[in-house]
Amino acid sequence: MTRWKLFAAIASRNPDYDDTLEVVAKLDRQQQEERLAALAEQNARDPQIAALIDSLMATGAYKLYFRQFKNVTPDVHRRIFAALPYRGIPSPGDIGQVQFELFGHRDSLVALVSRISQVDMAEAVSISRQWAPPGEMSMPTTYYLMDGNADAFAREEGVCFDLYGVILGKRPESHRYEKLAEIPADEIEAVLAHEYQHIFAQPHLYPPTRKFDNWQDLWEDVIIRRIVSEGVAMQCNPPTGFKKAVYEDSTVVRFWLRELERVIGQIRRNETTEDSVRAWLDRTYHEPARQLLADYLKRTYSDGDQNVLLRDHVTYRPSAIYTLGWWMVSHIASARCGHDKAVQLLDTPHQLFDLYNATVADTLFKIGL
């Protein structure tokens, strides 16, 4: 409950912040910045607030978090929390605005935390084991946080589950914080199973014996293993509803299959550079995926407000790795004896294209490599 103690301390130390914001709003821009900076500095010097921020940054969740994300640091978070309750400062991943939003709904979040206590961790492990190679598997350490910089991620030391990224951020803004106590526990268990699967699969999919003589082999391997990794893990929490529809949309799938063919072909023919491939892979998570989502919304909901639809569904933008992972591995898994072949991909990921092609009848969806 460190975050709630922190939010409560910030609120109690700034009891007149609504009146303060009214005063600040009447100032010119430079005066506003000076006043808000002074208030943040006041919070940063407050012993109780500073101690709670330090305590939060020292938790296992944030230790793992800062190893995962290099775009943020404890100092960034200290500035974010010190800026509350007056504003959400600009920050990587828009974390500052997320914390500002969470602060305003801090009382509602208690229901979500209570719901977490009802999650059956053993069930999550059981689901993940169905999609992991045989072997001894202990319960991974699980950390919860509310940050908005990611959904959930796994490292050797455990799983970080971002309640904002996984649950709150995917709900429409108009009722994001309503009925949090009614969120199905099995929805959370399935996401945990996905991340547990990553941990169980790690020694198989990324063995220490992997060696490469050139960057071409390295990057083809990186792309293939990422597709396999997410594709198998997504069998633990299959997309449903809107997410499933956009991930399986024929236009979206064909686009990414053709992109995959193009880039892997360029790598094999030595027609590109390592920097270009790295940049392409980074971009696939962002603008191309966002544009594919926008186009899908226009085709599917032509009478709707496209700006509102895009804002409400942007977390479901169909990026290359997740779309191809779900599409390709699901086809392999759905074939006869496919479950075993899908799991075996974790040890032999470079069989991905052959196994996938063998399950797809339509030549438009085959990989031509």
Q: What is the per-residue pLDDT across 111-153, written as a single tens digit (0 to 9) for each?
A: 888 888 888 988 999 999 999 998 777 778 888 889 888 778 7
Structural domains for the chain: 2-97 (no CATH), 110-203 (3.30.2010), 210-365 (no CATH)
Q: Band the pLDDT of 1: cuts 50, 70, 90.
A: low
Q: Please report the DSSP string for 293-345 in residue order.
A: HHHHHHHH-TTS-HHHHHHHHGGG---HHHHHHHHHHHHHHHSTTHHHHHHHT
Which pLDDT score is estimated for 157?
Answer: 73
Between 188 and 127, the more confident residue is 127
User: What pTM does this model have?
Assistant: 0.82
Residue 31 has a pLDDT of 94
What are the φ/ψ torsions at residue 97 (nearest 5 degrees)?
Answer: -70, -35
Beta strands in 20-63 (DSSP E): none
pLDDT exceeds 80 at position 75 = yes
Mean pLDDT in residue range 46-69:
92
The continuous run of DSSP H or E covering 52 comes out as: helix 47-57
Question: Among residues 169, 65, 55, which one has the least CA distance to residue 112?
Answer: 169
Average pLDDT, integer, range 252-281: 98
Cα–Cα nearest to 250, from 140, 360, 125, 114: 360
Instruction: Identify which has the larger pLDDT, 292 or 168.
Output: 292
Q: What is the pLDDT of residue 324?
A: 98
Lowest mean pLDDT of 46-60, 128-142, 337-351, name the range.
128-142
β-pairing, 158-162 vs 142-145, is parallel
Confidence of residue 184 (pLDDT cuts 50, 70, 90): confident
pLDDT higher than threshold 70 for residue 64: yes
> How far is it, in rounded angstroms, from Cα 165 to Cα 163?
6
